[in-house]
Structure 1
Amino acid sequence: MSEANPPIVHALDPDRPDRHFVCPEPFDPAAEEVLPPARQREMMAGYWRLVWWKLRRHKLAVGSGVVLILLYLVVAFAEVLAPYPLGSRDTDHIYAPPQSVHLFHDGAFIGPYVYPLDYTLDMVRLKREYAPDTTRPQPLRFFCAGLPYRFWGLFEANVHLVCPPEGGTLFLLGTDRLGQDMASRLMHGTRVSMTVGLIGIAISFVIGVTLGGMAGYFGGWVDAVVQRMIEILRSLPELPLWMALSAAVPVTWSPIVVFFCITLILGLIDWPGLARAVRSKLLALREEDYVTAAQLIGARPARIIGRHLLPNFSSHLIASVTLSIPGMILGETALSFLGLGLRPPVTSWGVMLTEAQNIEAVVLYPWLMTPMLAVMVAVLAFNFLGDGLRDAADPYD
């Protein structure tokens, strides 16, 4: 104890002076420990700000988020980014190999350019042999007027980010058996494949949150019915079920209708996992005091679930949704690869991979497997981002 503030002695019993306690010295604000500014800012921050701060420290998740942003920029501007419009063919360059982009020619910098491809027909193996003509560099054109297209099918345009050289070609990922540019098809396929995941998970999210919320909040026979539905769907093998439902879609329907049917099928099958997670959370939260208070003032169950219960684990829902989208993408790719999903003229990663069913074509023209790399990148990016969101969902760890 300091001499300036001597301890204060209080007697507990006047008849027993030996029984007493010592009061600690008075509170001195100047002697109080001061927290570092970073710690003070963390204690004053809201929940979502803490989630964001923790997510930023997960470098792999942040990098995956950047990759996904770039993929969805391709979804939004596929026609502008693609050198060729969808459906464009060059019959003089069937199964052409990828062209490399160069900057220097004979030691001189001339900017991005490609060499034209010359081909000869090998009559022994019945194969086209392509060889670059290294004597004729052809500079690329940027922000140029190229072949016309309909932007999102709404209006005519012809502006491209990069165009083939005048009188030349630009096949960054080679061409397929019809002479279509693989890079352009891959960009257009990104729009379909990445959109299938978003629409499918939106359907799954609505069904899973609704049924899981009802089961967790009401319990009783409602919970029993929902649980039996989940168990029945979980007992069915997913791929054969997808194949059976997709095969039931008439081939005479338009590509847009088939697209929405495939997304509906994927969403209707994927909801049980999310519903079970929502149910388990609501079973624990419905006993909280604030739920009882909301019930006493007459709040309806839908309002209690939507305004009070679901926001308490919304970050976990976001992480679950992020981890479910890759399953949607893989489902569409598998169905289209087997010929039971989307069909030409619609272009998706799965539709492009149908040409890889011929092992001989894959051995001779390995660039046909490029869509598989796109699927891997998208799935890994979603998984890494979902892991980061799941770790950041509890920022008080």
Structure 2
Amino acid sequence: MTDLTSPAPLHEPGPPPEPPPAATEAAEERPKGTASQRSLVWWRFKQHRLAMAGLIVTGFIYLVAVFAGFLAPFSSSTFNADYTYAPPQRLHIVDRSGGDWDWGLFVHGYRSVVDDETLELTFEIDESQKIDVGLFVKGDEYEIFGLIPWDRHLIGPTNPDDPMYLLGGTRTGHDLLSRMIHGTTVSMSIGLVGVAMAFVLGVTLGGVSGYVGGKTDLAIQRLVEFFMSVPSIPLWLGLAAALPPDWGSMQRYFAITTILAVIAWTDLARVVRGRFLSLRNEEFVTSARLDGSSRRRVIFRHMMPSFSSHLIASVTLSIPGMILAETSLSFLGLGLQAPVVSWGVLLQDAQNIRAMATAPWLLLPGLCVIVAVLALNFVGDGLRDAADPYKR
């Protein structure tokens, strides 16, 4: 007779059954359905290889801009008139001239050569001279973040009086590498500052135009059409030429930034206006109004986040245009002026035949412009494609 009160025999639990492949795939896809919009945009952005490469290059460029004083061998004002148009020096690690391997960074010096017919003075690399190069050497004093004074440089000659031109010298005897690094700060920051100003103008005026409508919309759109109808290059030249010649470098810098921002806000304003026109009658906007939300809260809390990814992509794609505009104006002599150093100012030295024939390294700042613009365009394309994470 079976005892009903006795406990049932215990069995060792076996391994759980493996879920079918369809359930596994559904479990893997489930987090994406519940992830935030920011995560979805980032996941899709990482699939864009050119965008990721552009992001890495852009981050590196801005790191160079932030730590320009430390990375540059010399300050932007240091020069030696005895070494104008000095050719680039090769950085060596091992010295085998004495038969033994002597480890250490060094470059070879220069010897001057005078042409018998034209009496032109040129420089050649003199392998009999050895100039020691060190890391974290003491040199020209600068300020980190504009606050902390310091005099250490990542690389430079151990003797500050020795010539070192890793990328060649300019017509005034400046080190081109140092000038390019310092120019990165101005050229890349003017893009950020100009785009920030254009973003504020475009979003504010475009949002007001699309949300309010009526006569306000009519007036703002006529203003937008006026700026868009004026040719950009003549307008840049005219406004830049109108700047007082006695203005200082910082005044001219902010003036050029303001000019570029005034011109660049129109496209963004039209895009924002179109978005607001399509969203202001949506149900979530009507619900926010009926809930008693103010106009400002409806715009910035409910309507703006719905297309924030598109705004980020538009801003990213606008920075290269700002950089090219500043470079063009400075190259023509109507933008930033010395002693301010930017890539456009450096390219002014490449306007004559001698630079093209005997000093082609003066065109290197133009290569920096190309790399920066391409990297930012790749990042902008990636953000634009990732703005809609559900797009197939």
TM-score in terms of structure 1 length: 0.88
Matched, 1:162 2:152: no
The aligned counterpart of 1:21 is none
Aligned partners of 2:263 and 2:95: how far apart in 1?
56
Query: C-alpha separation between the residues in 2 aligned to 1:211 and 1:252?
Result: 34
Q: Which residue of structure 1 aligns with residue 63 of structure 2?
A: 73
Of 243, 248, 267 in structure 2, the residue corresponding to residue 249 of structure 1 is 243
Aligned to 2:107: 114
Cα distance in 2 for residues equivalent to 1:364 and 1:183: 18
> Is the CA contact (8 Å cut-off) linking 1:105 and 1:137 kept in structure 2?
no
Q: Distance in 2 between matches of 1:356 and 1:248?
A: 25
Amino acid in the other structure paired with 1:225: A
User: What do the CA deviations read for 1:154-189 (whole angstroms, capped 9, x no partner)?
Assistant: 454211011124363321111111100000011111
1:283 match: 277
What secondary structure is seen at the aligned counterpart in 1 of 2:64? Answer: helix
Q: 1:138 aligns with which of 128, 131, 135?
A: 131
Q: Secondary structure at the match of 1:145?
A: strand
Of 340, 345, 355 in structure 1, the residue corresponding to residue 339 of structure 2 is 345
CA deviations on 1:87-109 (whole Å, 9 max, x unpaired) are 10112211101111123333836
Pairing partner for 2:36 from 41, 46, 59:
46
Alignment gaps of 5+ in structure 2: 1-18
Superposed CA offset, 1:50-99 (max 9, x none)? 11111111111111111111111111111111001121011221110111
Q: TM-score, normalised by structure 2?
A: 0.89
State which of 285, 305, 308 in structure 2 corresponds to 1:311. Answer: 305
**CA distance in structure 1 between the partners assigned to 2:229 and 2:353 by the alignment:** 34
CA contact (8 A) 1:291 1:308 kept: yes
Matched with 1:296 is 290
How many residue pairs get aligned? The number is: 368
Deviation at 1:298, TM superposition (A): 2.3
Deviation by residue 1:187-243 (Cα, 9 ceiling, x = unmatched)? 111111111101100110000001111111122222222221111111110010011
Amino acid at match of 1:157: W
> Could you list the runs of 5+ residues in structure 1 that have no partner in the other structure?
1-29
Report the secondary structure of 1:92's partner residue. Answer: helix
- Pair 1:212–1:104, CA change in 2 (3 A): same
Distance (whole Å) between structure 2 residues aligned to residue 152 and residue 32 of structure 1:
55
Which whole-Å CA distance do the structure 1 matches of 2:108 and 2:158 have between them? 10
Which residue of structure 1 lines up, in the alignment, with residue 23 of structure 2?
A: 34
Q: 2:358 aligns with which of 349, 361, 364?
A: 364
Structure 2 distance, partners of 1:151, 1:88, is 18
Alignment of 1:66-215 (within 5 A): 66-106=56-96, 108=101, 110-151=103-144, 154-166=147-159, 168-215=162-209
Contact 2:95 2:104 in 1 (8 A): no
- Native 8 Å contact 1:143 1:161 kept in 2: yes
2:33 maps to amino acid: M
User: How far apart are residue 284 of structure 1 and its match?
Assistant: 1.2
Other-structure match for 1:17:
none
How far apart in 1 are the matches of 2:186 and 2:28? Answer: 44
Secondary structure at the aligned position of 2:163 is classed as coil
Q: CA deviation at 1:43?
A: 1.7
Shift of 1:128: 2.7
Alpha-carbon separation, structure 2, partners of 1:153 and 1:292: 49
Q: Give the alignment's Cα RMSD to 1 decimal.
A: 1.9
Alpha-carbon distance in structure 1 between the residues aligned to 2:66 and 2:112: 36
CA distance in 2, matches of 1:103, 1:155: 32
* Distance 1:369-1:31 versus aligned 2 partners, 3 A rule: closer
Note if contact 2:110-2:126 (Cα within 8 Å) is conserved in structure 1: yes
Is the 8 Å Cα contact of residues 137 and 157 (structure 2) preserved in structure 1? no
Q: 1:393 aligns with which of 375, 380, 387?
A: 387
